[in-house]
Amino acid sequence: MNILVIYPYIPYPIDRGTYQRTFHLLRELAREHTVDLIALSEKGERLENRHVFESFCRDVHFVPFQHPEWPKLFPHRLFNRTPSSIEHWNLPHIAKAIRDQLKRTPYDLVHVCDIVLAQYFLDEHQDIPLSVDRSRVDLQFQQQQATFNARTLKDKLLAWESLVKMHGFEKRVAKRCQLQILCGPDDEEFVRKHISTTAPVKVVANGVDLEYFRAAVEPEPRSAKPTVLFCGAMDYTPNVDALRWFFAEIHHRLLQRVPSLQVLIVGKSPIAEVLAYAQLPGVTVTGGVPDVRPYYRRAWLQMVPLRIGGGTRLKIVESLAIGTPVISTSIGAQGLGLTHGTNILLADTPETFADQVVNALQSSPLREHLRKNGIRIAKERFGWRRIGADLSAGYRRFKPEQRKQVRLMNVPFDVVTMPQTLERIGGMIDSKQPHYIATANVDFLVQSRRDTELRRILNDAHLVVCDGTPLVWLSKLLRRPLPERVAGSDLVPQLLARAEREGWRVFFLGGEPRTLKQAVRNIESKHPNIQIAGSYSPPFAPLDRMDHEGICERVREAKPEVLLVSFGCPKQEKWIARNYAALGVPVCIGVGATVDFLAGTVRRAPRWMQVAGMEWVFRLAQEPRRLLKRYSTDLLVFGIGSIREIALSFLTSKAPQRA
């Protein structure tokens, strides 16, 4: 794809949290796509870093600019429907630079950072798909600022005026964008609740440079005295507010119980209020430092006492990766999917925050427990390579290609037959790039209605085949027909036969150990020349407690072309989506009970029942206790959803068309 990326700054050197995200995502996008960059240079700064971006971008344009003065309240600000924080970025020569670039080069997608740049695409360039990567949701950020910082009547009135305008502007952006990239599920929840229930959004978590923030094999010696670190830009309002709360409500409680406590405040551009904390006993304010890693390694803990949320939360994942335990408020760690007591400590009141800090400082086993689990989860989930691959997967749907899909109950299905599916798989293997395939049945549709992660996985999958006769029927009633059912339990045997002919290596992951061994024996008996790269049934554990890195390492060492995962839906789909990029396997498929069929421990329904769409009746008769509740729920939800979708399709077709 040809992608134009537009940034409101030059994110190099990487000396701010937001620069970490924007720089690494840009570089990862350029691994798969052809990327051109327009970046704004305030007062002509950082222009000497062009060569950094030219090493992976095709075309680089830096546009010097200077912010205009803030408008006076009357009449310019009051009678302008655009929030002043957005209008502050509206400059004619920036609009011209964007216009000229779009005239020179055709693009499949424009990717901008933050909604300050989205304004250039609200009235112009409507024909180009637009994606906005948001380091924070501005409406949410302003609401939280108003809660903590609007003290006088004037401040409250100005905050209300800005919030009203920002709410309207957010809605305009949501209507224009083909995709909004958010940092966490909490941001998505806010957008859905306050801005738009239907706008396309994708959560792309923040990451860490795992090589740069590599933890030592053996824990390094910490400071002699118990030391707590706070790290971040010290002119950023949420960080200033966090320190204000910490020193007003928490610091004195800690000194009463840990008199030798040292507090390190590390970060560029400390304002006067932050510098003043250095007058307190045991507090050091360093300002900007050339390398933050020595400070992480000295500290016993990193604290994140944030009260204003949203945004990147990069310092937490850096700290996890390098092995420094973290204590945070819930809002400070929102969206990262961390677990209190396992890989982080969470506390939201001054008393509990102080208690957690003291407990960690006084318990080296607790700190070591948090250190090991933090390193593990950083490796599993927060590497930029994996996160960038996830974003690239979300952008593939904008690529002009011959991929035809239909949507049923808001789930996309590829219009393919069984032979076409096998050809697609062959192409994926030839490309040697990682892909994942979903075999979606009625239960997928039902679960995806309430499971936002599963819904995102189905939207981002490289191929979604229809594994349910009722779905074929529904597609025909809606006059967007799927050609046939491509059941996973039919696909896998044909795929194995093709693998034997082509010499593709196959790895089986999951299933009950004895069942998996029997399935492999049966496959090798039927296909004597097939190359089984390996099989492994990991110990049962919830998804977030699985040894992802250990499993991935085992699969990578086997070097398969095809990985068949049998953890059950939706666990197997979530595991694949989280790990397929790191695995590097060309084709990953969740196959569910197919391993039981291959082993012969579970019988498939007779062919006539499969064709008649009654296979579920046969399965229910075999396992009534396990399947009765699931099938009853599926039947009810799918039935209601189908009736609603058919009715909507009928009403739409009968609606009068405008000339």
* pLDDT (0 to 100) of residue 395: 87
Q: How many CB atoms lie within 10 A of CB 525?
A: 8
Q: Answer with the residue of higher pLDDT: 634 or 382.
A: 382
* pLDDT (0 to 100) of residue 292: 93
Tokens of residue 507, six digits: 């790895």
Cβ partners under 8 Å of residue 243, min gap 6: 230, 265, 273, 274, 277, 305
CA dist., res. 143 & res. 138, Å (int): 9
pLDDT digits (tens, 9 = 90+) for 31-54: 888 999 999 999 999 999 999 999
Q: How many helices (H) and strands (E) does the chain have?
A: 28, 21
Does domain 415-606 fall into CATH 3.40.50.10700?
A: yes
Give the E-state strand segments of 233-332 in sequence order: 262-266, 283-287, 301-304, 326-328
Residue 400 pLDDT exceeds 70: no
Structure-token match 């070591």, residue found: 368
Tokens of residue 265, six digits: 């405040």
* pLDDT (0 to 100) of residue 658: 41
Residue 369's pLDDT band (cuts 50, 70, 90)? very high
pLDDT (mean) for 463-470: 92
* pLDDT (0 to 100) of residue 169: 96
* pLDDT (0 to 100) of residue 612: 66
Domain boundaries, the chain: 2-203, 227-382, 415-606, 609-654
Q: Which of 123-137, 144-158, 189-203, 348-362 has the highest mean pLDDT?
A: 348-362
In CATH, the architecture of 227-382 is 3-Layer(aba) Sandwich (3.40)
pLDDT digits (tens, 9 = 90+) for 494-516: 999 999 999 999 999 999 999 99
pLDDT digits (tens, 9 = 90+) for 585-605: 999 999 988 999 999 988 776
Does domain 2-203 fall into CATH 3.40.50.2000?
A: yes
Average pLDDT of the chain is: 90
What percent of the chain has a predicted confidence (pLDDT) above 90? 66
User: Any bridge partners for residue 229, and if so which?
Assistant: 264, 302
* pLDDT (0 to 100) of residue 219: 72
pLDDT digits (tens, 9 = 90+) for 315-343: 899 999 999 999 999 989 987 889 999 99
Residue 655's pLDDT band (cuts 50, 70, 90)? low
User: 559 with 584: CB under 8 angstroms?
Assistant: no
* pLDDT (0 to 100) of residue 149: 74
User: 634 with 640: CB under 8 angstroms?
Assistant: no
Cβ partners under 8 Å of residue 306, min gap 6: 238, 239, 241, 242, 328, 329, 331, 332
pLDDT digits (tens, 9 = 90+) for 136-177: 899 988 888 888 777 788 888 888 999 999 999 999 999 999
Q: Per the confidence metrics, is the pTM higher than 0.75?
A: no
User: 582 with 552: CB under 8 angstroms?
Assistant: yes
* pLDDT (0 to 100) of residue 657: 46
CA dist., res. 393 & res. 578, Å (int): 12
pLDDT digits (tens, 9 = 90+) for 612-632: 666 666 666 777 776 667 667
**Ranges 145-159, 403-417, 448-462, 542-556: which has the least confidence:** 145-159
CA dist., res. 219 & res. 295, Å (int): 14
Residue 348's pLDDT band (cuts 50, 70, 90)? very high
Residue 247 pLDDT exceeds 90: yes
CA dist., res. 207 & res. 337, Å (int): 13
pLDDT digits (tens, 9 = 90+) for 441-458: 888 888 888 888 999 999
